[in-house]
Structures are given as structure tokens and as C-alpha cells.
A and B are shown apart, each in its own frame.
Chain A
Amino acid sequence: MKFAPFPRRIRATVVLVALGLAGLLSLSTSSEAATPSMSVDDIFCRAKSGVGFSYWWGGSCWESSGCSPDYGGGKGKCTCTCSSCCGDCCTHTGGHGADCSGFTYTVWRLANLSQSDVCGPHGPVAATYMNSSSDWTHKDDSEREPGDALASKTHVMIFEKNTSWGDVWAWEAKGCNYGIVHNSRGIDWGSYAVARRKNVVVGVCTPGQTQSQECGNCGTKKRTCSGNGQWGDWSGCTGQGDCAPGSQDSKSCGPCMHQVRTCSGQCAWGQWSGCQNAGACVPGDSQAQGCGNCGTQGRGCQGDCQWGGWGPCQGEGPCGPGQGEEGKCGDCGSHARTCSAACQWNDWSECWGPDPEGGTLVCVSELPGVCSEGRVRCKTGWIQCVNVVEASPELCDGLDNDCEGVTDNGNPQVLSDPPPPFAAVLEDASFPTVLAAGAEATVWADFRNVGVLAWPAGEVWLTLADDEPGPSPLHVPDSWAAWDVPAKLCRDVPPGGIGRLQFRVRAPEPPGRELRTALVLRTPAGEPIRCPSPSLDLAVRITAGKADETGAVDGGELPGGPPDSGPGDVAGTPHPQSDDGTGWGCSASRTGACGATLLLLAFALGSLLLSPRGRNQQA
């Protein structure tokens, strides 16, 4: 049950009257009947049920569930608009809460409340509890006992017990900010007095109070609180049924057959069931179940309608589903595998491992050229030297870019930047395409030095190509430096400069055939210059009869023509021939053609200037 607290106007009147008349008010509220008996445990139970509810000035109402608070209807809320007071300047919302005196009055159950009611009239103010009244008696502070009230002029609380330090445990409606609390705290005994509720029985129950409890099979037993606040003995268990709820009974109705009945919630047996198999199985039945790693085991139903033991586990796989395994592979890798749902190992994963030293170890791969630069890797689990540069189209750079094992093979036309140490471009050439048997003619070729190194005089030779069988049939022993060296440079040619190589050829007998000779420039080290166009291919057709002294025809087929060719100086155009090997290049000879070239330089220059189609563009 729940009573509404006094409206504020009436509440204020009650407070004022209480402050002025102290004990008179308490007499008027409770003198009509003797203070009802109450145990200390009941006081504590009611106090405990108020903890957590709000402070409500003039209020005395909360809800409980046994000894616990029930916040289902709300705790109420106190809001204070000033710091130094807790009365008129505080506002409260909600229907639950209490101030200190309302809390004490209700806990003490002084308004003839039933045991479960925690709502009722507010009762007198705190100061009233400092003196005796019809419902309580003043006691010395040192006589305080559990369940007493500790009261000052402005505050009152329910005393529970002392601490070992002389503080107290108490329940109190402390204030607007705090609400109703249970706490251990210090007490100024000079300000507080002790009030003891009348008719408090020292015990665990209130005299006359009864308790019932279920017992046995739906039976009950009772006990009554005696006059000293102690519970009497439990009565015998009465009103029991035939059985315990949910229990079962059975009887046989044939081999392995029986009937059952179940006890109801009212402790009465239900009807017998039909005759049913009493055992776990029918003899002859069999069962199988999975076991181990995808294996199976079976059991059979025995003559007593009970299952026999499980047989051995058969057909197991090598592993359990989901099982994993790891292992090493190669010399630096590891791999893993998992077990399938069918208990069979899946394939190993790819063998993998980290590169040694983080892949920074330098090594030489099996590939030639630029592809030989490698790093030590763990490849598919094995330590290998893996190339870090891939093959690329050959450049004229002195490197083996395509990793075929030959530097600058195939006469690559694209020069690298910077270019290689030695590189040459055939700018122009003159050689006879037709020559009478026994006749001689002069051949010259202009090569531009497009490498980074200068061509030292006498050290860069024009020689037979490596695959050219020697000696050359066009060989002129007096003109050539050797049977396979038609000419050498006779002066230094810096990068960008052009060097001329000049020599004589002689048409051997018999006529009627064409002779071919492939020539190539070589570095001072004797290595052929590879690119872009360091070679000269001679093709001379031998004719019968004496040829014109200068009857050679310029048959040089220069791809695209020389870059510095003048008008009319195109591939296939006859060039004037000179037998003496003069010019700004020089012919090679065993006797030092370079010296002769220098002596004849003036004559050669004159010849060129007088020639109607001289190499004036090069002079």
C-alpha cells in the first residue's frame, strides 16, 4: 500500500508545529494507539529498502521489494538551487523520496503501517527525536543500540552499529545532493542524542508474525514469531501430494516394454502411458557414429534392449579436419598444409622463405652481360642467384644488353649516352666495283669516331673481319700492313673527328668472278669495334683485259649516305681514285705509309682542289 505524502502547504504547517511543540505533535500522531511491535531486523529491512531514493523535504515514500529498494516507480529527483540550505530552495520531482525525519518515521513504522508499506505520513521533525515521546525513549549516547535513532536539532538517522574506531554505520536521508544513503560516518556526540523506539523486540522477527514455507511434495509448513522476537519451530509439513513435481514412475508390460507416468505440478500422478519400449533399443538394431579422424564405429543392440559397447574406430584418415602442419623445404623455405574435411592432407603450399640478408647479398647470375648482376634470393625454397637486370635490346654502349654473350652484337645503331669507349660510323668510302684482272685501284673509307676515347695514330687498324678467311685475294703486299690489315690510322682522331683509312687493291686472275672482302675497324687492343657501322664490305667484279688506270667505280653502298656528303656525293657515285694514297687519311704499308702520306700531303690537297668532284666537303 502507498500513501501520498502531505502537500507542501500542509507539510510546512506540520514542520512549524513540530518545531514549536516538539513532543506534542508526536503524541498527537501516535498516542491513539500503542506503538506496534517491531523487530530490529525489520527496522533494518525497511531502512535498507529506502537506499537510493531521493531526498524529498517533507516526503516519506518509497517502494520496496522485500528488503530491497524497488526503483520501478522512479527514485524521485531533488534539485538544489542554492548551496547552504536544503529546504525551500530545493525542488523535488517524482512521487518517491524522503527527508531525514520522514525516513525515520516510516522506517520505524510509527503510523500503523503494515509491514510492507513504506509510504505514509511524514511524522515529526528531526529535533523531536532528541527527547522522549509516546513512541520512543531518550537514551544516553553510550547506550545506543542497533535500530535506535540518532538525532540532532536538524537531522536524524537510523543507527546500525559502531565501527572499531567509534564511528557509526547509519541509514539517513542525508540531503538533496545525496538522497537516502547507508554509510559509515563520524558523529559529533555533543550535537546528537539517541532515541529508542518503543516496542522494539530484540530478535529477528515481530511477535505474532507468521511465515510459511513450501515443504515436501507441495506441502506447507508454518512458524510464528514468539513474544521475544524469535521464530518458533516450523510446524510439520502438511497438505502434501503423492509425488514430487516432474518425477516419473514406471512399470513393466512385457520384455523390454514398460508404461510410465509423470507427477504433475500439483504433486499428483498423471495417467499411465501406453506400453512402450523400456530399453534403449530393439535387439538387432545397430548404430554407427563418427570417431577419430573421419573414422566410424558401430554398436549393436543386445538382448536386454541395451546398446552394446562401441566397436573400434575404423577407416580413419591420417589427420583431423582443420588440422594444420608446417614443415621445412628446400634449403631456406617452409611450407604448410591443412587437413581436409575428409581427413586427408591437402597439398603442401608453395615453398617459400625470406631472402637471406633481406635480399641485399650481391652475386653473379648464370646469365651473361648486364644480366649477370644478381642478388641472393630464397626462390621456391632454394638459395639462388637471381638476376636483377632483365635483357633489353642491344645498344651501342659496350655492354651486352641482350645478354646473348656478345657485347654490342648485331651492330646496334642506337648509341648510348654516354657512348662506349670505341664506336665508329662509316661516313663515306670509295672502292672499285669493277676492276680488270691484274689492275690495281685505291680504296679509302672515312670513319667518324663516335666513341668517348680518341683513336691513337697507328693503333686503330682496318682489318679483315673475324669470319673472313684470309689472306684477302685483293691483297697488295706493298700497300697493306699485313695480309689481313689493309690500313692503319696515321694520325690521332679525337671523339667526333673523322679518320680516313686508305689502301690499294689488286684484281687477281682469272677474270669473270666477283671477290668480296669484309673489313672492320679494330681498337688498339685488337678488338673489333662493334657499332654502329665500323665495317666496310668490298665487292669487286674482275673483268678481262686491261682496265682504265682509274677505272674503278665507287661501289660503296652506305646506308642513308654519309651525313656530310655534298651535293652529288651519294652512294654509288664514282670517286676519283689516287694511286699514291695521298689525302688527309693515309694508306697503310709495311714501310710506314704514314710518313709518305705527310710528304705527299701538299700534292694531295692540290689534286683535290683541282678535281671537278673532289672530296671538297671533307677537305
Chain B
Amino acid sequence: MRFAMSTAAALVAIGLIAVCSAGEQPPSLGEPEIILTARWGSGPGELGKKDGSEGASLGPMSFAFGPDGTIYVLDQVNGRVAVFRPVAGGGVSEPPGGPGNAPFLFDRFISLPGTTFEEIEVGADGRILLLDRLVREALVIFDPRTRETEELSVLGAGIPEGGGVMAVLVREDGVWLDYGRVHSVRVLDPRWNPCERKIVLGRPMRGAEGTVEVSLGVGGGADVRYERKGDGPLSVFVQDDVPIGRLIELADGPGGAVLLVYHCWRWAEDGDRIERQEVRGRWFSPDGKPTVAFSSPYTLTEWEQFREFRLLPDGSVVQMAFTPDGVKLLKWRGP
């Protein structure tokens, strides 16, 4: 990401917001709330970053919210999960638990049984679901209280190799894995026990109400297709004033609304540098009409991360962004 390269580049990127936001955008949700900032490092409240040297550069791979709103950041570079709890009333800028963490305070670390996890989910009972798609090619259910782990291979019907798993989707009917951005495979039941596999194209909607899928389309657009039970298939073509180069998140939220988050950029004339880029999100009504939008100057950086966005049950959207100083969590309210 430009921000990681130089302050000057960061300023240029922020300046691009207006450009990228131009065009036929639906009403904006406005500026996001910064709910967490954490510095790079290995101390309390800090998150690990690995600078590549003939290898990949890595940042915290993912993050999740507990049932009580607690934030769990998968700080696999430091071999742990950093837990931040919400501060009553919010707005604390320099809490003692971790400088710069606001309005969430650093609470504790949970040491991990490995350093190659890329995704995290937190269950209502406190158990943590971890994905190690490359080395173990398995889901690991980890109980931080007892340190007990249960390893369940992801390989099987619909998943020929772990490296193709691109997302963990927790739904009412169990845990699904997005494979290669093509189809999803249900691998665990609601209690996180292995179950008979079920495969659907795209991604399952919440409440097993149907499926939704998206792919990059012609001319820098994106084709969103969703099919609810009882309704015929619905297609929406999303085109922006800046070409869409990468799709980031696709999920259905409260009331059947559908969220699409994408990364749009435009190359400079010489083709050697990106001239303009930003991340944008759009909400669509159940009948496919755009309702509201938001945008973020923070895009993917060289420091690899597995999950960039997370949709919360109330419709809020949270982005984990990497900056030269550390990590920020930005939150947009729901539509």
C-alpha cells in the first residue's frame, strides 16, 4: 500500500478519495469511526509485522469480534491473539492498557498453538476457530482456557488443497469455507463438529436463505448475482468511475441487504504506477438497488493479510488497515 511506502505517498492516496468517490455513488455513510489503533511491535497492545527478506511480508492476518464486542486480532507474527475490550463510554485516546488503543483497551494476549494461522472466529462459548490453510491444511478449534486443540482437516469434497480456501464463513447452519472464490463448502455444524459436506456456488446467505456470488466483469465492473429461496436469480452489474480491480468482501446483512466491498484503482499513463486507488463498499437492497456506500483510503499493502473487512451482525462494517505506524480498525455504521 502506498501508506506503507512513504508519508508523501499516503497523502497522495488520501487525496484520491474524492476522485474515487466521484461518479454515480449512492449516499455515503460518511467518515468511519476509528475504533482501534495499535502500534507495530511485540509489547502489550502492539501487533507484529514481518518484513519480507526473500520471503513474504506479513501483518496480522485477521480479526474477529467476540459475542460481547471484544476484538480479537490474529497476531500470528507474534504467535498470539491480541484481545481488546471495549471501553465504557468510548473516546479514550491514551488508555493505560495500550497506548493509542481507543475506544478499545488492550486486555490480554492468548498464545496460539502455531504461527501459520490466517483466519480467526470466536464462538459464543469462548472457543476460538483458527484456519491454517497452508501448513496443516486444517481448522483448529482452540479452547484458550484449557489449551486443548482439535484439528479438523479442510481437505475433502470441494476442497482439494488448503491453499485455495479464501474465507471462513460462519452461518446459522454451520461453518462454510470459500474455496477459490468459486464455491463454498460447509465443513462444520453449528456446534463446530464435522458434518456432511455441502457445496454451493458462491457464498451461502445467512439463515440459509440462498446464495450470493460475485465476479469481476468486463470493463472494470463486477457482476453480483444472488438467488434467494422462493425468488428467481437476480443480477446486478456494478460499475464505478474507477475500474474495479479486486473484490474484497461479499456478504448479506440485516434485512436481506447485500454488501460488496471492492478495491478500485487506475494505472498512470506510463503503466508503472497506480495513479488512483481506494477501497469502496456498497450496500444493495434485497431487490438489487444500491442504497448506501462508503469508501476507505486504506488498501491492501505488501504486508499480507487474509481478512480485510468484517460485517458485524448489526450491519456495521469494520476494516483492518495497515499504516506505517501500525494497525487501525475503522468502522462504518450499517445502512
Give A residues with C-beta under 8 Å from B: 15, 55, 57-58, 83-87, 99-102, 125-126, 140-142, 152, 154-155, 163-167, 169, 172-179, 181-192
Query: Bound complex: CA of A189 vs CA of B273, how far in Å?
Result: 9
Q: Are B263 and A177 in contact (CB under 8 A)?
A: no
Q: How far is the CB of B301 from the nearest CB of chain A, in Å?
A: 5
Q: How far is the CB of B131 from the nearest CB of chain A, in Å?
A: 12
Query: Is B208 in contact with chain A by the CB < 8 A criterion?
Result: no
> 7 A-B pairs, CB-CB below 8 angstroms?
A15-B54, A57-B55, A83-B77, A165-B214, A183-B164, A185-B304, A190-B277
Q: Are B52 and A86 in contact (CB under 8 A)?
A: yes
Closest residue of chain B to A122, judged by CB?
B54
Q: How far is the CB of B119 from the nearest CB of chain A, in Å?
A: 13
Q: Are B55 and A176 in contact (CB under 8 A)?
A: yes
Query: Is B11 in contact with chain A by the CB < 8 A criterion?
Result: no
Query: Is B48 in contact with chain A by the CB < 8 A criterion?
Result: yes
Q: Are B166 and A184 in contact (CB under 8 A)?
A: yes
User: Residue-by-residue, is B273-301 near A (CB-CB < 8 Å gives 1, otherwise 0)?
Assistant: 11001000000000000000000000111
Q: Are A175 and B55 in contact (CB under 8 A)?
A: yes
B-chain residues with CB within 8 Å of residue A166 when the two chains form the complex? 216, 244-247, 263
Additional A-B contacts beyond A154-B52, A190-B2 (12; CB < 8 A): A85-B50, A99-B55, A163-B180, A164-B182, A167-B246, A169-B180, A177-B115, A181-B163, A183-B163, A183-B164, A186-B300, A190-B277
Query: Is B267 in contact with chain A by the CB < 8 A criterion?
Result: yes
A-chain residues with CB within 8 Å of residue B308 when the two chains form the complex? 186
Query: Is B79 in contact with chain A by the CB < 8 A criterion?
Result: yes
Q: Are B79 and A83 in contact (CB under 8 A)?
A: yes
A-chain residues with CB within 8 Å of residue B94 when the two chains form the complex? none
Query: Is B19 in contact with chain A by the CB < 8 A criterion?
Result: no
> Among the interface residues A57, A86, A152, which one has the most CB atoms of the partner chain B within 10 A?
A86
User: Residue-by-residue, is B210-233 near A (CB-CB < 8 Å gives 1, otherwise 0)?
Assistant: 000011100000000000000000
Question: Per DSSP, are chain A's interface residues mostly helix, strand or loop, or mixed?
Answer: loop
Query: Bound complex: CA of A23 vs CA of B115, how far in Å?
Result: 35
B-chain residues with CB within 8 Å of residue A175 when the two chains form the complex? 50, 52, 55-56, 58
Contact of A182 among B54, B161, B244 (CB under 8 A): B161
Contact of B54 among A101, A142, A164, A189 (CB under 8 A): A101
Query: Is B331 in contact with chain A by the CB < 8 A criterion?
Result: no
Query: Bound complex: CA of A152 vs CA of B4, how far in Å?
Result: 13
A-chain residues with CB within 8 Å of residue B135 when the two chains form the complex? 177-179, 181
Query: Bound complex: CA of A83 vs CA of B47, how far in Å?
Result: 11
Q: Are A84 and B164 in contact (CB under 8 A)?
A: no
Closest residue of chain A to B79, judged by CB?
A83
B-chain residues with CB within 8 Å of residue A186 when the two chains form the complex? 246, 300, 304-305, 308
Q: Are B164 and A164 in contact (CB under 8 A)?
A: no
**Contacts A99-B55, A167-B246 known; A183 to B133 CB distance under 8 Å?**
yes
> Among the interface residues B54, B55, B78, B214, which one has the most CB atoms of the partner chain A within 10 A?
B54
Query: Is B181 in contact with chain A by the CB < 8 A criterion?
Result: yes
A-chain residues with CB within 8 Å of residue B246 when the two chains form the complex? 165-167, 186
Query: Bound complex: CA of A181 vs CA of B135, how far in Å?
Result: 8
